[in-house]
């Protein structure tokens, strides 16, 4: 007879198996994710150039400097601009294309492949491609603007402080609209056809069917799409770095580019670490609040569905 409170041998074996399989992943997560976060948080309290051990403790001075830094505040404004443009322009266009590709068009598989192809390219390759397109001399953009009578307008898209961010947004949209289009298309094809047939029998036209049937049922997909778009914009770096280097006159710098410039160009590693902590906290805070107030219903529905299936 087993003593009271003793754990069955099989259960102990199950726990050992779980720990054995989880241990490598937890070790990698700790080394590659948690350790850099802790090191960056620690370095953000020092005036440190990145060499040797940080010794000049300055407390919250790096964060106080951020609040008064016009470059950092400009980064926040540019990030908000890209987020607003993505939500107001890029995602609605992707949704419209998804609805179009859901129609019985001839060759629609080819269209889907073509729209998704830019997403397959790396961000560096995309940036290099558009650097050539926006080239002042033989770039495709200048050829197009000349054909329509606008002269060499394309030559200043990346060289003018008033237009560079819109040019960057154009490149970002070209790179990612296919991803969101396929995401919306998958969500649309998951809606039962019977619902649209019932709406048609009730006299609903295409717009009313989209407004009152398709759009509400696409809500979870749209919310996930917005979530991914905003998080990606907050952490944007490599594409903009290769495309403009943050110029002209730092007019296209993002939070990550400023962090890189301060840390690896000017060797203000303590200050760069403070910027990295702001990026991390912004992403974490947005992710938590978005899941708490926006994705909560979707997550609860998924959990309920899984419970019902059991």
pLDDT tens-digit series, residues 39-60 = 999 999 999 998 988 889 999 9
In this structure, of 118-122, 161-165, 306-310, the range with the lowest mean pLDDT score is 306-310
Question: Which has more confidence, 304 or 13?
Answer: 13
More confident residue, 225 or 159: 225
pTM, two decimal places: 0.85
Question: Which tokens hold the place of 189?
Answer: 């094809």
**pLDDT band (50, 70, 90) for residue 5:** low
pLDDT at residue 92 greater than cutoff 80: yes
Min mean pLDDT across 137-141, 169-173, 190-194, 205-209 is at 137-141
Residue 271 structural domain: 72-309
Q: Quick check: is 26 in a domain?
A: no
- 31 lies in some domain: no
**Residue 74 pLDDT more than 90?**
yes
pLDDT at 243: 92
Instruction: Tally the domains of the chain.
Output: 1
Residue 52 lies in a domain: no
Give mean pLDDT, residues 287-308. Answer: 69
Percent of the chain residues past pLDDT 70, beyond the cut: 91
Query: In CATH, what number is assigned to the domain containing residue 129?
Result: 1.10.3720.10
* pLDDT tens sequence across 176-205: 999 999 999 999 988 888 888 888 888 888
The predicted model gives 141-145 an average pLDDT of 79
Q: How confident is the model at residue 305 (pLDDT cuts 50, 70, 90)?
A: very low
**Does residue 103 fall inside a structural domain?**
yes
The tens digit of pLDDT for each residue in 208-241 reads 888 888 899 999 999 999 999 999 999 999 999 9
96 in a structural domain:
yes
> Is 18 inside a domain boundary?
no
Mean pLDDT over all residues of the chain?
87
Residue 154 has a pLDDT of 66
Residues 134-153, mean pLDDT to the nearest whole number: 77
| Within a domain: 271 | yes
Question: Does residue 4 surpass a pLDDT of 80?
Answer: no
Residue 21 covered by a domain: no
Torsion-angle region of residue 267: left (phi > 0), alpha (psi -120 to 50) or beta? left
């Amino acid at each position: 007879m087993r003593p009271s409170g003793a754990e069955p041998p099989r259960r102990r074996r199950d726990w050992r198996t779980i720990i054995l399989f989880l241990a490598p992943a937890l070790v990698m997560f700790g080394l590659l994710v948690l350790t850099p976060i802790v090191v960056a948080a620690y370095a953000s309290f020092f005036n440190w150039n990145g060499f040797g051990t940080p010794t000049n403790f300055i407390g919250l001075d790096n964060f106080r400097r951020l609040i008064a830094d016009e470059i950092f505040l400009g980064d926040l404004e540019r990030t908000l601009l890209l987020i607003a443009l993505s939500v107001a322009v890029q995602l609605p266009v992707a949704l419209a294309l998804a609805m179009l590709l859901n129609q019985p068009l001839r060759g629609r598989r080819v269209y889907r492949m073509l729209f998704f192809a830019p997403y397959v390219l790396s961000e560096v390759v995309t940036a290099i491609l558009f650097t050539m397109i926006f080239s002042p001399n033989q770039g495709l953009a200048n050829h197009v603007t000349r054909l329509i009578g606008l002269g060499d307008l394309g030559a200043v898209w990346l060289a003018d402080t008033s237009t560079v961010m819109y040019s960057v947004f154009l490149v970002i949209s070209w790179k990612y609209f296919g991803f969101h289009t396929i995401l919306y298309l998958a969500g649309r094809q998951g809606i039962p056809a019977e619902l649209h047939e019932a709406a048609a029998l009730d006299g609903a036209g295409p717009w009313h069917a989209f407004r009152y049937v398709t759009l509400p049922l696409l809500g979870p997909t749209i919310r996930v799409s917005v979530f991914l778009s905003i998080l990606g914009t907050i952490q944007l770096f490599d594409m903009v770095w290769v495309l403009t280097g943050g110029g002209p006159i730092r007019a296209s710098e993002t939070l990550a580019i400023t962090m890189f410039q301060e840390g690896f160009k000017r060797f203000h590693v303590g200050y760069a670490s403070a910027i990295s902590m702001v990026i991390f906290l912004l992403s974490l805070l947005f992710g938590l609040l978005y899941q708490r107030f926006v994705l909560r219903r979707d997550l609860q529905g998924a959990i309920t569905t899984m419970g019902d299936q059991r």
